[in-house]
Amino acid sequence: MIVVTGATGRLGRHVIEGLLEKVEADQITVAVRDVGKAAGLADRGVHVRPADYNDPASLTGAFDGSDRLLLISGNDVAHVVQQHSAAIDAAKQVGVGLLVYTSVLHADTATRRTAIPHRLTEPIIRESGLPFTLLRNSLYTDTFAPQMKQAAASGVFLSSAGDARLATATRADFAAAAVTVLTGEGHAGQVYELSGDVAWGFADLVAELSRATGREIVLRPVSGSEHRDLIIAGGLPPVFADFYVDLYRAAATGELSETNGELRRLIGRPSTPLAVSVASTFPLS
Ligand SMILES: NC(=O)c1ccc[n+]([C@@H]2O[C@H](COP(=O)([O-])OP(=O)(O)OC[C@H]3O[C@@H](n4cnc5c(N)ncnc54)[C@H](OP(=O)(O)O)[C@@H]3O)[C@@H](O)[C@H]2O)c1
């Protein structure tokens, strides 16, 4: 049995669709906090079990009988390490055969703030004694969708990342890697640093954005503090502005530029090009 947490999230949905192409539905269990959101999967023959990271008993119940468990990292920043710890403990209690975890690229050395929960979770996994695989996903290309939408409206794309290059990929690409690991052999003990095939710069993003929207968008370099103020003035909440400015700062260090081909090797095809991702954010009507 393959069990997947976060299966009703954006990454998880791609994982389940990929799994359904490779294994029978009754070999898949989704462990979700809102079983109503998974009703469509239940209709297709997937097992649906309630599982809340804040409720340890629900986790052991949901993971029972799991040969392979995909723990998709949670999004409740304040509590997420404790939640992951509870899930790992539950996996250990029921004797999961392989624990697969969605981490971030070079979680042990990355300087961006969003890497911290992963840097804290990975040792808990290692110390659990369970066979594990770490999927260290770089950045989802559509992380920039809100800023692209702002730029499409204003005609200006702001960047405080200098000449940064980013080897991003789509959720569907990273999900395909998870499916490979969950359905294949020889992945226990592996730490996969997964990134897109091409490291693009913000000038490339803006060129694609102009093409997709049919409007000339200008790239405007700004300082970090100016960037934060302008993102907020553009209508995004301060918490998002802080996230983006930290991301641009980290990108400027080069920590998201790695193109090592591991994602391509795992999924057996190229990662989704930037142009395709941008065009899908602005589909022609
Ligand atoms: N590499 C990157 O660029 C990048 C970017 C963003 C996020 N991430 C990480 O990757 C993860 C997956 O990405 P995503 O786009 O699929 O995020 P997402 O759409 O926010 O999905 C998060 C999933 O976690 C579930 N969840 C949250 N709290 C839970 C709880 N207490 N108990 C059980 N499940 C809980 C959510 O359940 P519901 O479906 O019920 O809401 C959802 O299914 C994120 O959570 C984050 O850690 C990585």
Which numbered atom of ligand 1 lies nearest the CA of 118? 47
| CB of 77 sitting under 6 A from ligand 1 | no
Phi, psi (deg, nearest 5) at residue 212:
-70, -35
Helix (H, G, I), strand (E, B) or coil at 102: strand
> Could you tell me the mean pLDDT of each successive run of 10 residues in the chain, 285 residues long?
98 98 98 97 98 97 97 95 98 98 97 96 98 98 90 94 96 98 98 98 97 95 96 89 95 96 98 95 66
What torsion, rounded to 10 degrees, do the Cα atoms 209, 249, 240, 192 define?
Answer: 80
**Per-residue pLDDT, 281:** 82
**Per-residue pLDDT, 235:** 85
**Per-residue pLDDT, 285:** 46
Q: Which value, in Å, is the radius of gyration of the alpha carbons in the chain?
A: 19
**Per-residue pLDDT, 284:** 54
CA–CA dist 202, 141 (Å, integer): 12
Show the tokens assigned to 215.
Answer: 């409007």
Q: Among 191, 199, 205, which residue's Cα sits nearest to residue 254?
A: 199
Which numbered atom of ligand 1 lies nearest the CA of 139? 3
